[in-house]
Structure 1
Amino acid sequence: MSETAVYAAGGVVWRVVEDVLYVLLIHRTKYRDVTLPKGKVDPGETLAETAVREIFEETGIKTALGVPVGLSRYRLPSKRQKIVHYWSAEATDAAVRASAFVPNKEIAAIEWVTAKKARKRLSYPVDLEILDNFLTLVEEGVLHTFPLIVLRHAKAVSRSDWDGSDEDRPLTDLGRQQARAVAGPLRAFGVEELHTSPAKRCAKTLAPLARVTGIEPRKTSHLSQDAWDKGKADVRKIIGQRVRARTPAVLSSHRPVLPEILSEVALATGTLPGSYLASAATLEPAAFSVIHLSRTNPGSGIIAIETHVPKD
Structure 2
Amino acid sequence: MARLVSPRRGPVIAAGAVVWRATSRGDLEICLVHRPRYDDWSLPKGKLDRGEHPMVAAVREVWEETGHQVRLGRKLPTQRYEVAGRPKVVHYWLAEADDTAGPREPDDEVDAVAFRPAEDALERLTYERDAELVRAALDGPVRTTPLVLLRHAAALSRESWPGPDIERRLSTPGIRQAEALIAVLAALSPRRVLSSDSVRCVDTVRPFAERFRLMLELDPSLSEEGLRAGPNPHRAGDVVRSLLSDGPAVVCSHRPVLPLLFEAAGTDPGPTLEPGEFAVLHHHEGRVVSVDRQSAGVA
Give TM-score scaled by structure 2 length: 0.92
Offset of residue 222 of structure 1: 1.8
Q: What secondary structure is seen at the aligned counterpart in 1 of 2:230?
A: coil
Gaps of 5+ in 2: 1-7
| Count of aligned positions | 288
Which structure 2 residues correspond to residues 255-266 of structure 1 after superposition, within 5 A?
255-266=255-266
Runs of 4+ with deviation above 4 angstroms: none
Are 2:135 and 1:132 equivalent residues in the alignment?
yes
Q: Which amino acid aligns with 1:179?
A: A
Q: Give the CA deviation at 1:229.
A: 1.5
Q: Which residue type is aligned with residue 293 of structure 2?
A: T
Distance (whole Å) between structure 2 residues aligned to residue 212 and residue 124 of structure 1: 39
Cα deviation 1:259-285 (Å, max 9, x = unaligned): 11100111xxxx6xxxx4232xx1111
Q: Deviations over 1:128-154 (max 9, x none)?
A: 1111111212xxxx2221011000111
Which residue identity is paired with 1:105?
Answer: D
Cα distance change of structure 1 residues 3 and 252 upon mapping to structure 2, 3 Å threshold: farther
1:183 corresponds to 2:173: no
- 1:310 corresponds to which residue? 296
What code does the residue aligned with 2:161 have? W
Which residue does the alignment assign to 2:5?
A: none
For the residues of structure 1 that align with 2:21 and 2:296, how far apart are their CA atoms?
31
Find the aligned partners of 1:54 and 1:211 in 2 and give their Cα distance: 25
Match of 2:252 in 1: 252
Residue number in structure 2 paired with 1:84: 90
How far has the Cα of 1:7 moved from its partner?
0.9
Structure with the higher fraction of residues in helix conformation? 1
* CA-to-aligned-CA distance 1:2-25 (integer Å, 9 cap, x gap): 961111110000011111111100
Deviation for aligned residue 1:304: 1.0
> Given that residues 184 and 296 in structure 2 are in contact (C-alpha distance below 8 angstroms), is that contact kept between their aligned partners in structure 1?
no
Letter in 2 for 1:254: H
TM-score by length of 1: 0.89
**Which residue identity does 2:150 align to in structure 1?**
L
Which is worse superposed, 67-76 or 55-64? 67-76
Q: 1:21-69 CA distances to partner (integer Å, 9 max, x unpaired)?
A: 1110001121111000000111111111111110001111000100012
CA distance in 2, matches of 1:56, 1:33: 19
Which residue of structure 1 lines up, in the alignment, with residue 21 of structure 2? Answer: 15
Taking only the aligned residue pairs, the percentage that are identical comes to 36
Q: Secondary structure at the match of 2:252?
A: strand
* Structure 1 residue aligned with 2:71: 64
For residues 183-231 of structure 1, give each alpha carbon's deviation from its aligned partner in whole angstroms, at most 9, with x where no partner exists: 2111111211100011111010002211222212110112111010223
Provide the alpha-carbon RMSD of the alignment. Answer: 1.5
Residue 240 of structure 2 corresponds to residue 239 of structure 1? yes
2:270 is matched with: 278
CA distance in 2, matches of 1:128, 1:76: 19
Q: Which residue of 2 aligns with 1:28?
A: 35
Query: Partner of 2:95: helix, strand, or coil?
Result: strand
Per the alignment, residue 144 of structure 2 pairs with 145
How far apart in 2 are the matches of 1:92 and 1:124?
25
Q: Once the 2 structures are TM-superposed, how far is the Cα of residue 244 of structure 1 from its aligned partner?
A: 2.1
* C-alpha distance after superposition, 1:279-308 (max 9, x if no partner): 2xx1111110111111xx21xx32111111
Matched with 1:293 is: 283
